Amino acid sequence: MPLKLVRRKGSDFYYIRGTVRGQSIFESTGTGDPEVAEAIRIKTESRLLNESVHGKKALITFEEAAESYISSGGSERFLIKVSPATGKVSGIVAHFRGKLLKDLTQSDLDAAARILFPTASAETRNRQCYTPFIAVWNHAAGNQWAEVRQWKRPRKAKGTNVAKLKVRAGTKPTSYDRAAQFVAAMSPAPAQLMTALFYTGMRPIEMFTLDASDVNVPGRWITLDASKTGEPRGVPIHDFIAPLFEALVARGGILFRSHKGKPYPPTEEFGGQISSAITGARNRLKKRGITIIDIAPYTARHTVSTQLVVNGIHPYIKDQILGHAADDMSRHYTHVPQQPLIDAINTLPVPQLWRDQEWWSDPVYWSRRLVKWGRGNFGYASTSDVG
């Protein structure tokens, strides 16, 4: 039967009900205005008719594909932004609103990156525009709503006269002895976060958003359903940090929080969420005649990668741990702890200085305390409660 408008008892909205070429529908128009509801009904009926004739691939918009991607567990970061003050919606989805997938080209994607991020570097455009767009496209292709396509990403400009807008700190690995020395100069909350980074190889943004429900401590396994690349993956847990994760999982919710008990903002903007803690550690070390200025959150990921190579770990296992491998088999076993990966991560060395940190005695308690540093060796001369 053709689509009709109906009004359910006690509802303020009109609903669309009926069947178009064998496809049944019953959904709300979201409005109580009869003229607006009728316009929505006509548009819906036309869309269903066209889909039945031409197929969904010819009619689905980027906005619809993005909504499906997000509802299936994909991250909405950079895709949809809502201003708290005005409620205005912006981001990639808003830019491509009304655009059919079949009509989008490489030039459309390149133009979007220039418009949305006019002063950003190639790396930032790649991370904040190309990566989420391609994740949505691959989701659509997987549902046969779009053709599989190889999208070109921006490259760094070549030449010594090219000015760099911003440079991410921590682009080189360090030794675990230097890392231990640096982390020992931090307050407990950021020290715990950095420790987890150095013994998982996770991206900082992944660690900032890690929830207790994602962690299987007995199985030594972390499940990331929607990582930065839009692909699910599993991460092994080093035995050394199992007690830390056990305590934080028991607390529940987002695992790593500031000393105020609040989650770190889920963003990868330069400067970072623990920039003050990084600066503080550098200054404390400098007062003791120790200069370490090359360690930042991303240092941990590069260090894990390098150390695994030094330890003779097979490149495929290393790539699995870091999330570089994305074959069908690895995605299929995302939730299943894999012993080869766990054995590999456990080859990372653990300096005694790291083991001696006082916050290991009660990670949750210490994470809510700020450190007042004394004149002696590194350690917590005195502390003060926060909140």
Instruction: Divide the 387 residues of the chain into consecutive groups of 10 and give the mean pLDDT of each group.
Output: 79 82 75 86 76 62 88 86 75 90 92 91 91 92 85 72 51 92 94 96 89 94 71 89 97 92 68 77 90 89 95 90 65 71 96 96 92 49 42
Pairwise CA distance, residues 311 & 299, whole Å = 18
Q: Count other Cβ atoms within 10 Å, centred on residue 85.
A: 5
Residue 368 structure tokens: 């809510």
| CA distance between the termini of the chain | 62
pLDDT of 379: 47
Which CA distances in Å does 130 have to 134, 266, 352?
A: 6, 19, 43
Task: Give the per-residue pLDDT at 144.
Answer: 82
User: What distances in angstroms separate CA 178 from CA 219, 241, 251, 294, 354, one per listed residue?
Assistant: 30, 18, 30, 10, 10
User: At 71, is the secondary structure helix, strand, or coil?
Assistant: helix
Q: What global pTM score does this model have?
A: 0.57
How many Cβ atoms from other residues are within 10 Å of residue 14's Cβ?
Answer: 23
